[in-house]
């Protein structure tokens, strides 16, 4: 899709991208990296960044593609792009395996009460071995996976391998999009029926206007008291107060949470920021994880990011279909 005056695709990254990417690009791709405060030039055809401003987009009359270098679309970005319908939006799924692995770890840790058992034994206390600690046997149980994208489909396969009956929820439960390990697929509208029969719920949905607060007090009340909730999507898909109250009252059995409601805004704040306005850290039936599913600053995942991003840019330069297109209206 190089412009008519050049055979070279002009791409601009709003901030530094995955190291080593230049070695993976075709000669027909010219990639310029700027700083968050800089603006791309008027020849830019592909913009790389998760949170471009209106000024960024308007500064590029030749812009036709925005690549968000991670999974999902920030809400403000989605709202902005509705005013630029000629720009196709694409994202990366390079961290799908890592996020699915963490979801599995949280599910097992919460269900097997690993954290309180570890804490007790460090103090020489074996009593949890002889008590009814509420451990879950996953084989023969039902797992409800909300979202069967790159992450959710991997989680579904793992749950099936544990001997679980896996039920999926997706926007279009089309039989032609069958996912290995998923026995049933339903639309979101079926949640009221599905939740009471679910022993574990894994949230892997994007955050959109439709999914914000999807699981609130009403929906959590449908779950069995022994149910486990895992969230590796976005915190706001599950209502913050409702989740805390359900866990604190024993309305649901346990949770494993990797995505939160409060994040540190500075490096100094990283050591003094609680993940919620509610004291989840006081609850023994929660496994807390500081948003590690995306593999932030992990060299192996940054290499994968570079490979996936180069694949998209090379496809654009060759005039081929660019993978991972986002439906801006739907938000994913």
Cα–Cα dist 257/276, whole Å: 11
Q: Which residues are catalytic?
A: 234, 272, 291
Question: Whole-angstrom Cα distance, residue 318 to residue 8?
Answer: 10
Give the count of beta carbons closer than 10 Å to the beta carbon of residue 216. Answer: 15
CB 259 within 8 A of CB 235: yes
Residue 156 DSSP SS3: helix
User: Could you give the angle at the alpha carbon of 79 between the alpha carbons of 21 and 46, nearest 5°?
Assistant: 25
Location of structure tokens 């990011």: 305
Instruction: Report residue 176 as tokens.
Output: 């032609």
Torsion of CA 185, 191, 194, 200, to 10 degrees: 90
The string of DSSP codes covering 87-146 is SEEEE--TTHHHHHHHHHHHHHHHHTTHHHHHHHHHTT--HHHHS-------TT-EEEEE
């Amino acid at each position: 899709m190089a412009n008519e005056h050049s055979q070279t695709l002009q791409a601009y990254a709003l901030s530094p991208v995955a190291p080593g990417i230049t070695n993976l690009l075709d000669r027909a791709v010219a990639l310029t990296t700027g700083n968050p405060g800089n603006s791309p030039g008027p020849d830019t055809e592909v913009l790389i960044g998760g949170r471009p401003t209106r000024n960024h987009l308007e500064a590029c009359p030749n812009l036709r593609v925005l690549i968000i270098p991670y999974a999902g679309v920030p809400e403000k970005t989605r709202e902005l792009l509705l005013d630029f319908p000629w720009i196709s939006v694409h994202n990366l799924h390079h961290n799908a395996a890592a996020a699915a692995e963490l979801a599995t770890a949280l599910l097992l840790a919460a269900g097997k009460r690993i954290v309180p058992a570890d804490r007790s034994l460090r103090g020489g206390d074996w009593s949890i071995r002889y008590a009814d600690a509420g451990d879950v046997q996953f084989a023969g149980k039902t797992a409800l996976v909300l979202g069967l994208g790159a992450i959710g489909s991997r989680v579904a396969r793992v749950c099936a391998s544990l001997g679980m009956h896996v039920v999926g929820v997706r926007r279009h439960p089309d039989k032609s999009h069958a996912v290995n390990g998923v026995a049933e697929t339903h639309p979101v509208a079926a949640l009221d029926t599905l939740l009471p029969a679910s022993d574990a719920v894994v949230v892997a949905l994007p955050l959109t206007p439709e999914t914000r607060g999807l699981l609130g007090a009403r929906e959590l009340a449908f779950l069995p008291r022994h149910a486990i909730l895992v969230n590796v999507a976005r915190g706001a898909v599950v209502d913050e107060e409702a989740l805390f109250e359900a866990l604190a009252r024993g309305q649901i059995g346990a949770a494993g949470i990797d995505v939160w409601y409060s994040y540190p805004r500075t490096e100094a704040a990283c050591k003094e920021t609680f993940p919620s306005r509610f004291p989840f850290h006081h609850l023994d039936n929660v496994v807390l994880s500081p948003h590690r599913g995306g593999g932030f600053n992990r060299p192996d995942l940054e290499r994968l990011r570079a490979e996936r991003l180069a694949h998209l840019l090379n496809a654009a330069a060759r005039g081929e279909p660019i993978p991972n297109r986002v439906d801006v209206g739907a938000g994913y």
